[in-house]
Chains A and B, each alone.
Chain A
Amino acid sequence: MIGARILLESLKRAGVEVIFGYPGGQVLPIFDQLYDFDIKFILTRHEQGAAHAADGFSRATGKVGVCLATSGPGATNLVTGIATAYMDSIPMVAIAGQVGTHLIGNDAFQEADVTGITRPITKHNFLVKDVKDLARTIAEAFYIASSGRPGPVLIDIPVDVQRAETEFIWPEKIEIRSYQPTYAGHPGQIKKAAKLISSSGKPIIYAGGGIITSGAHLELRRLAEKIQAPVTTTFMGLGGFPGTHKLSLGMLGMHGTAYANHAIMESDLIIAVGARFDDRVTGRLDTFAPYAKVIHIDIDPSSISKNVRVDVPIVGDAKNIITQLLKQIKKAPDTQAWLKTVEAWKKKHPLTYKHTGKMLKPQYILEQLWDLTKGDAVICTEVGQSQMWACQWYKYLAPRTFISSGGLGTMGFGFPAAIGAKVGLPDKEVFNIAGDGSIQMNIQELATCVANKINVKVLIFNNGFLGMVRQWQELFYKKRYSYTSITSPDYVKLAASYGALGIRVTKKSEVRKALEKAIEVDNTVFVDFRIEPEENVWPMVPAGQAINKMIDGLA
């Protein structure tokens, strides 16, 4: 069997249903095999779109996403997508063609050192120099991508390896002596954590993306209810705990809720699960949660005690550990007074916005979207103000319903990620909450949607600005709006020219109808919401400040 065929047979054995990609000179043997192979292939209009789509597919389904591109520029176009997946620990396998082995290092046409370029942004990568190694390498790539703390793995396959013949042997079991992730938590540490929880008075659960990766949302809920502790999630953790639950504090951090930030700052115990105390969460580190002891549960030992000193570190899988912890907690702490305090913060500092003027408010659109869908939708986002509003004003009830680039903050992610999510979950309504800046970064994927009937609903919060940067310029750079005012095409006409539907909304009264129409139409829809141009995201913690020093421009 030739290498190209071995690749596809291996992908099938690894459970791959769909590949997102783009052809080119050094992957011709693979595409020749794809021509009549029983695996779905989605041709995007840009390799970056393929990488984000594979990522979105993975985030929506929990399966490993796969993208494929040719050598050189094809592979370098995947780079942003790979880095995005890496920062958010998303399991993905990226396959790149490479020039023939005899040409590697010769500055051959469309050659780039792709394993070199992607080394710091992949969990691992491979250059396959011998076709005999191909099947095992693919099996290892899938194992590495999806186990432990997941992440993207790149496989670089020279074109002569794709053409070379060997016997196809699929390894049923993969063992890597140098890679053995820890899943079970240390029982002694779990006991210690249980004691600390029982003796706490103001505990708070701080839950991150690890809850979603490990599928620990039900266990998390049981834990919160058992110990009656409020739960705040990170951006990556949205959906890991129901946003409507009475113990939910929503998201914390820079644009988190004021009550979540107050609660974590005043807490005497932080139970961190699958979160990494990122700078957007902690604000100024030396002021962060001064009274709190910290229990930190994470599968990646390098995340523990990296930013915040931890009293009880527990390395392992969140679901396993919470299950064990639930058994070990003999006595629930008395948190009645604490919950009252938290409730008072909720009343005193709710999320809010002003319905002033005639202009449309983005928060209102999201409220309407919530009202229409009640959490039964997949919300993808781009990056910036629209993304932060989507975190604040929509409630996520289940894991994998919020898909957004957290760590890297990649503009242009949301639209192709929504395509991947819709391919993975065809029966779900998939929205992309976009700004007029971000949507223009991968707008070419409209063609992918229409050609493949992947109907996603893109809600563009069009304010004529790169809004988040403009907000910072307004607040910290004396309103010197340096290159943040931008123009857009006519999105209604643009959508129509691709064969999609465009709707323009300028008035509050039109919002509901437009959303209903977008849902009802059996096509990809762009809704161009003309929103208040200088609306800000509140509340906000200025960079480098303590997270309870929030500013709120509404006063």
Chain B
Amino acid sequence: MRHTISVLVENKFGVLARVAGLFSARGYNIASLAVSETLDPSISYMTMVVEVKDTDVLEQIKKQLNKLIDVITVTDFTKREHIDRELVLAKINYAAKDKAKLEAIFNKFVGKIIHHKEDTAIIEAVGNAEQIKLLLEELSKFGIKELVRTGKLAISN
């Protein structure tokens, strides 16, 4: 099962390696990871999605993260109300006649064409995991040439 965890860490070199090392040493996989500075530039915020077999493993991950000296707090969003979003950039096949079809899609999803050149358009879209999944299904009908994603961001509400 996938779980979303956020980690507040000291914004120092080597911290990402410590967090990543903790996962790799135990053979746990990180499905996605987003890192950036917070309002306080001495602190970074990491949102990570981890895939684990059972909650015991999840508990161990949280405890091990907390054990790292540079980790300030660990929040597990599994049983917590939260909002999550992901930003996607997709390069798709595009012809002028597709415009109406795409606009119909963007009536249902938060997204837009941010660039197009010849037979290619770049789409920007934001949504939760389910929305992004559905959007990508729609876009795949045009043919997706390239896709980049930020990984999930989460905030409690």
Q: In the assembled complex, which residues on chain A have CB atoms less than 8 Å from the CB atom of B60?
A: 302, 306
Q: In the assembled complex, how far is the CB of residue A61 from the closest CB belonging to chain B, in whole angstroms?
A: 24
The answer to whether B69 and A120 touch across the interface, beta carbons within 8 angstroms, is no
Q: In the assembled complex, how far is the CB of residue B50 from the closest CB belonging to chain A, in whole angstroms?
A: 16
Instruction: Tell whether B128 is near chain A: CB-to-CB under 8 Å.
Output: no
Q: In the assembled complex, which residues on chain B have CB atoms less than 8 Å from the CB atom of A123?
A: 69
The count of chain B contact residues (Cβ–Cβ below 8 Å) is 19
Chain B 35-61 interface 0/1 with A at a Cβ cutoff of 8 Å (1 = within)? 000000000000000000000100110
Interface residue from B17, B63, B64 paired with A119 (Cβ < 8 Å): B17
Instruction: Tell whether B67 is near chain A: CB-to-CB under 8 Å.
Output: yes
Chain B residue at smallest Cβ distance from A125: B14
Q: In the assembled complex, which residues on chain A have CB atoms less than 8 Å from the CB atom of B70?
A: 124, 178
- Overall SS of chain B's interface: helix
Expressed in whole angstroms, the Cα–Cα distance for A120 and B59 within the complex equals: 20
Interface residue from A124, A144, A179, A301 paired with B63 (Cβ < 8 Å): A301
Chain B residue at smallest Cβ distance from A303: B63
The answer to whether A302 and B63 touch across the interface, beta carbons within 8 angstroms, is yes
Instruction: Tell whether B18 is near chain A: CB-to-CB under 8 Å.
Output: yes
The answer to whether B21 and A120 touch across the interface, beta carbons within 8 angstroms, is yes
The answer to whether B17 and A176 touch across the interface, beta carbons within 8 angstroms, is no
Chain A 153-184 interface 0/1 with B at a Cβ cutoff of 8 Å (1 = within)? 00000000000000000000000111100000
Chain B residue at smallest Cβ distance from A148: B67
Residues 7-27 of B at the A interface (beta carbon under 8 Å): 9-10, 13-14, 17-18, 21, 25
Q: In the assembled complex, which residues on chain A have CB atoms less than 8 Å from the CB atom of B63?
A: 301-302
Q: In the assembled complex, which residues on chain A have CB atoms less than 8 Å from the CB atom of B67?
A: 300-302
Interface residue from B18, B59, B69 paired with A305 (Cβ < 8 Å): B59
Q: In the assembled complex, which residues on chain B have CB atoms less than 8 Å from the CB atom of A124?
A: 69-70
Q: In the assembled complex, how far is the CB of residue A296 from the closest CB belonging to chain B, in whole angstroms?
A: 13
Instruction: Tell whether A115 is near chain B: CB-to-CB under 8 Å.
Output: yes
Chain A residue at smallest Cβ distance from B20: A119
The answer to whether B69 and A119 touch across the interface, beta carbons within 8 angstroms, is no
Q: In the assembled complex, how far is the CB of residue B74 from the closest CB belonging to chain A, in whole angstroms?
A: 11
The answer to whether B21 and A119 touch across the interface, beta carbons within 8 angstroms, is yes
Known: A127-B13, A176-B69; 20 extra A-B contacts, CB below 8 A, are A116-B17, A119-B14, A119-B17, A119-B18, A119-B21, A120-B21, A120-B25, A124-B70, A144-B69, A177-B72, A178-B9, A178-B69, A178-B71, A178-B72, A179-B69, A300-B67, A301-B66, A302-B63, A302-B64, A305-B56
Chain A residues near B (Cβ < 8 Å): 115-116, 119-120, 123-124, 127, 144, 176-179, 300-302, 305-306
Chain B residues near A (Cβ < 8 Å): 9-10, 13-14, 17-18, 21, 25, 56, 59-60, 63-64, 66-67, 69-72
Offer 14 A-B interface pairs, CB within 8 angstroms, sorted by A: A116-B17, A123-B69, A127-B14, A144-B69, A177-B72, A178-B9, A178-B10, A178-B70, A178-B71, A178-B72, A301-B66, A301-B67, A302-B64, A306-B60
